[in-house]
Structure 1
């Protein structure tokens, strides 16, 4: 399950970033822990939602998936 591994890696990166105060968390000071936590939670949920979306696409039966090499309609 590649998509799940990618999501786990992305969430681990978020944990490291919020813990170290880097990346999107670099502007939060010690008194802004709640704001940083809100951003962290939103970003993790975004990663999880994207993983669910990719999984749903993979789970679709082939006959419902859009054709990838079909000729354009005449």
Structure 2
């Protein structure tokens, strides 16, 4: 059986990287080219357990609306 496991090496401390993954503004900035933005729930700042974020983006000429809930 073949197994494929993607990974990314980041030269930064784990707490910094994990904290950045919870930052709505950082994600919005990183996806500026596609116009991805938070449109409902937490739309700026840091998400925490129980929060929701709804994103709107255009990828491959298709407009997407995606909702995320932080559960743990």
Return the structure number with greater strand share.
Answer: 2
TM-score (ref. length: structure 1):
0.23
Please report the TM-score for the alignment, with normalisation by the length of structure 2.
0.24
More helix by share: 1
